Amino acid sequence: MKRLRFLKKAGAVAACIGGAVAASLFHVPAAQAQAKTQQKPNIIFIMSDDHALQAISAYSPDLIKTPNIDRIAQEGALLRNAFVTNSICGPSRAVILTGKYSHINGFTDNQDRFNSKQQTFPHLLKANGYSTAIVGKWHLNSTPDGFDYWNILPGQGDYYNPRFINMGQDTVYNGYVTDVTTDLALSWIDAHKQKPFMLMLHQKAPHRNQMPPLENLELFNDRKFPMPASFYDDYKDRPALQRQQISMRNNLDIDHDTKVPCNGCTPKKGEKWAPRNYMREINRMTPQQREVWNKAYRKEQEEFAKLKTTEERVKWQYQRYMEDYLRCIKSVDDNVGRVLQYLEANGLADNTIIIYTSDQGAYLGEHGLYDKRFMYEESLRTPMMIRYPAGIKPAQKVNEYVLNLDIGPTLLDFAGIQVPGDMQGESMKQVLTGQPVNNWRDKIYYHYYGKSFGLTAHYGIRTSQYKLIRFYDPISTWELYDLAKDPQEMKNLYNDPKYAKVAAKLKAELAELQQKYKDPQPLANK
Ligand code: CA
């Protein structure tokens, strides 16, 4: 097992293999001189997994304070209307890399295999003199290409003492995955900061099953998180929601998700357990880690034992889900802080573009759900903020509709590289630098293909006021929402005669978008 040296607890900002990063903190003048002579911006793209924007204080102050992530927005631009084109882990990553919709880049669902030899923005940066790297989650069932260095988690990866694939070699790192991923990132930057670099720093957290780091296990014990107003959605007139299996009520595991070990448990009606999954995670821990973990979660086990009714259990599970989710996010935010401090200490902060985003949004109890996939707002939206002091003024609030499809074109544009004509996204540069923008998109196109967890494949259009969704496989149904009157998307208006004209207009616009993006239009006009 490889050991990384952690300096975080001692008050230093960086940790690394062999101490190279720590040493570099004391050589600021030389690094600053290098940064001044460099023209092209460095790029650090930080992406977490399933980070709902409700859980970032730059967007919403209610759930958690994320001062480090917020700094990126305060010192740069906060994208208030950032959306994904296909709300699921692997496909989103493929869209970001290629700047192309799923049906063009070939990776429509998590089971697919990404052809990493195809044109991506990292390939183009590398061909133009950038050092390129990716660390953390890859999740595309292939080997990265276009990167000088890659050190990725296999599949979903693990939270504790994670195994990585380091340029093809299995390597286990001792520690917590969010810290380890950041350590690997800072080590690589430290060795490659002499010429323009582009690093993709992909955190696994806060993806299910939300195993927080040991130092955060007591956080939020004194908080009671209010359930969202739509938690008890009855799914009336929405058959696709009726058949999903991503509900907090029915589909969270008592042990794997809420950390109550089974220990010969006899499941009551409606309870779901997954001992094999949970124990696989627990067995990765060292005896010392396990001791701290078990001690911290004893309270939860006692609470669970006292629950009498299904309703009590559902409410308790919601609280437990939120606590662990936010504990993981606290660690993501701390590690964003380490990256920012490293850049400052090394004179790289001004000439580095830093993006924080997630592969999509997530439900935190809205519509009674966890997870993502559906085209409803909470998982269609994604957090996105960009800091680049040399090119973007601080405290910009951007309301234009942007897509994760736009990230590649934007970064190429800032790097002075021509955006290939076959990329389907738009460069956000003008939007971000406050220049007048003509004909920016005022509607977005979405297409989700997956059918696992009781989902139904669907596509749709979102405008400033409306959303029209076509569910087509395995069931066939339409949904229409008036977002101005019904922002929580509880009332399907598709069969309301008063909205017939609206629906017809949206269908025509939807067909135009499918044509524009060259989607083969499954059942578009039925
Ligand atoms: Ca995800």
Per-residue pLDDT of the chain (526 residues; tens, 9 = 90+): 454 443 343 333 333 333 333 333 334 444 444 444 568 999 999 999 999 999 999 999 999 999 999 999 999 999 999 999 999 999 999 999 999 999 999 999 999 999 999 999 999 999 999 999 999 999 999 999 999 999 999 999 999 999 999 999 999 999 999 999 999 999 999 999 999 999 999 999 999 999 999 999 999 999 999 999 999 999 999 999 999 999 999 999 999 999 998 877 777 888 899 999 999 999 999 999 999 999 999 988 999 999 999 999 999 999 999 999 999 999 999 999 999 999 999 999 999 999 999 999 999 999 999 999 999 999 999 999 999 999 999 999 999 999 999 999 999 999 999 999 999 999 999 999 888 888 999 999 999 999 999 999 999 999 999 999 999 999 999 999 999 999 999 999 999 999 999 999 999 999 999 999 999 866 655 5
Per the CB < 8 A criterion, the answer to whether 332 and 203 are in contact is: yes
Token pair listed for 326 = 């936010």
Q: Helices 310-345 and 177-192: crossing angle, nearest 10°?
A: 20
Q: Residue 19: its pLDDT value, please? A: 35
CA atoms within 13 A on the CB side of 464: 6
CA dist 275 and 387 (Å) reads 43
Residue 306 CA to ligand 1 centre (angstroms): 34
Residue 463 CA to ligand 1 centre (angstroms): 24
Please tell me if the domain spanning 7-210+323-441 has the same topology as the one spanning 445-516.
Answer: no
CA dist 34 and 315 (Å) reads 55
CATH 3.30.1120.10 fits 445-516, yes or no: yes
DSSP class of residue 512 equals H
Residue 159 CA to ligand 1 centre (angstroms): 15
For residue 207, the tally of other CB atoms under 10 A from its CB is 24
Q: Residue 524: its pLDDT value, please? A: 52
Residue 89 CA to ligand 1 centre (angstroms): 4
Per the CB < 8 A criterion, the answer to whether 121 and 411 are in contact is: yes
Peptide bond into 474 cis (omega under 30): yes
Residue 244 CA to ligand 1 centre (angstroms): 17
Q: Which CATH superfamily is domain 7-210+323-441 in?
A: Alkaline Phosphatase, subunit A (3.40.720.10)
Residue 469 CA to ligand 1 centre (angstroms): 21
Residue 40 CA to ligand 1 centre (angstroms): 31
CA dist 325 and 385 (Å) reads 21
Residue 360 CA to ligand 1 centre (angstroms): 6
Residue 262 CA to ligand 1 centre (angstroms): 27
Question: For the chain, what percentages of helix, strand and coil (3-state, to nearest 5) are there?
Answer: 35, 15, 50
Per the CB < 8 A criterion, the answer to whether 307 and 185 are in contact is: no
CA dist 83 and 12 (Å) reads 36
Residue 510 CA to ligand 1 centre (angstroms): 26
List b or e across 12-51, with b for residues whose CB sees 16 or more CB atoms inside 10 angstroms.
ebbbbeeeebbebbeeeeebeeebeeeebbbbbbbbbbbb
CA dist 390 and 394 (Å) reads 10
Residue 13 CA to ligand 1 centre (angstroms): 28
Identify the three-state secondary structure at position 495: coil
Identify the three-state secondary structure at position 310: helix
Residue 19 CA to ligand 1 centre (angstroms): 32
DSSP class of residue 423 equals -
Q: Is 101 exposed, middle or buried (0-12, 13-18, 19+ CB in 10 A)?
A: buried
Residue 149 CA to ligand 1 centre (angstroms): 23
CA dist 435 and 260 (Å) reads 54
DSSP class of residue 176 equals B
Q: From edge to edge, which strands make up the β-sheet containing 149-153?
A: 2-3, 169-174, 163-166, 149-153, 131-137, 197-202, 42-48, 352-358, 384-387, 77-79, 396-398
Residue 46 CA to ligand 1 centre (angstroms): 13
Q: Where are the domains of the chain?
A: 7-210+323-441, 445-516
Residue 25 CA to ligand 1 centre (angstroms): 33
List of residues 6+ apart from 189 with CB closer than 8 A: 44, 197, 199, 342, 348
CA distances from residue 411 to 120, 197, 424 in whole angstroms, order as listed: 11, 12, 14
Beta bridge partners of 460: 446, 469
